[in-house]
Amino acid sequence: MNPTPHAIVTGGSRGIGRAIATSLGAAGFNVVINYNRNAAAADEAAKLVEAAGGRATIVQADVGSTEDHARLLATATDAFGPVTCLVNNAGVAPKVRADVLDMPEESYDFVMDTNLKGPFLLTQRVAKHMIETAPVGAGHGAFGGQSIVNISSISAYTAHVNRGEYSLSKAGMAMMTQVFAARLAEYGINVYEIRPGVIATDMTGGVKEKYDRLILQDERGITPIRRWGAPDDIAKAVRVLAEGALPFSTGEVINVDGGFHLKTL
């Protein structure tokens, strides 16, 4: 009998992360919900996971602080045993959108620490743990039920001149996915990137009027599918990958963007 799958979802207390955690709970996962500041929101997310049929615990950790990584993993394994899925979802936008010519160094560090450096080093740590705790028979290209899913953004290939540090962080995550996919394939650990489009979350709340116009009101719109994305759209894609439905794919980019990535005339 296979052990119950166990996922860590960083930034799992709200928005996309909460939807991912709930979806994995419905799939029978034990879910560790990582949060940074809002414990109440994390508690609410845990209740949703349990209502969906999973088990959940919450862990405070700043993904951008590598000092927190060991405690995050230790708490996860103490709660539910070996981790079989890591979802790198936590991310931040610049506190102030500034022209790339004027962007301050502290904004660059703030965004890159949480969006790229932190996830990279957390993945390094969790990947070693997965190798050490792999199911019997896993490895050397055989999917062993272990996966790493990186939540990127269409900003990975969309140049934002007023938040260049964000675009850089997501482009870096795209290459991070490929690097770990190539390195971990021999251990049966598949690595994927999900690239969301414009999703209705707290992060996009401040630009709702702009994207309502671009998606819904302009004659052609920026997406062939003429609606905002929802956190659950991302969660459904994560569940497919975490459940091992694509065992012969790794390093893959899954666009969940309403068709934004299509070049049309």
Q: Are 155 and 97 in contact (CB under 8 A)?
A: no
- pLDDT at residue 140, as a whole number: 63
pLDDT one digit per residue (tens) for the chain, 265 residues: 468 999 999 999 999 999 999 999 999 999 999 999 999 999 999 999 999 999 999 999 999 999 999 999 999 999 999 999 999 999 999 999 999 999 999 999 999 999 999 999 999 999 999 999 997 766 666 777 999 999 999 999 999 999 999 999 999 999 999 999 999 999 999 999 999 999 998 777 778 888 888 888 887 888 889 999 999 999 999 999 999 999 999 999 999 999 999 988 7
Q: Are 177 and 150 in contact (CB under 8 A)?
A: yes
Integer Cα distance of 224 and 207 in angstroms: 20
Annotated catalytic, 157? Answer: no
Q: What residues are paired with 30 via a beta bridge?
A: 6, 55
* Collapsed DSSP state (helix, strand, coil) of residue 9: strand
- pLDDT at residue 2, as a whole number: 64
Residue spans of the domains in the chain: they are: 6-256
Own/partner pairs for 77-83, CB < 8 Å, 24+ apart? 77/129, 79/30, 79/32, 80/4, 80/6, 80/30, 80/32, 80/55, 81/3, 81/6, 82/3, 82/6, 82/129, 82/130, 82/133, 83/6, 83/7, 83/8, 83/32, 83/126, 83/129, 83/130, 83/133
What are the Cα distances from residue 169, in Å, to 5, 6, 160, 164, 214? 29, 27, 12, 9, 24
**Token match 């630009």: residue?**
207
What are the Cα distances from residue 59, in Å, to 37, 46, 104, 159? 10, 11, 31, 34
* Collapsed DSSP state (helix, strand, coil) of residue 34: strand
- pLDDT at residue 129, as a whole number: 98
Q: Are 91 and 74 in contact (CB under 8 A)?
A: no
pTM of the model: 0.95
Q: Tally helices (H) and strands (E) across the chain.
A: 8, 7
Smallest CA-to-CA distance from 236 within 3, 14, 26, 13 is with 26
Active-site residue identified among 166, 187, 192, 211: 166
Smallest CA-to-CA distance from 193 within 122, 119, 126 is with 119
- pLDDT at residue 204, as a whole number: 74
- pLDDT at residue 205, as a whole number: 73
Range 6-256 has CATH code 3.40.50.300? no
Smallest CA-to-CA distance from 6 within 75, 85, 88 is with 85
- pLDDT at residue 31, as a whole number: 98
Tell me the chain's radius of gyration from C-alpha atoms.
18
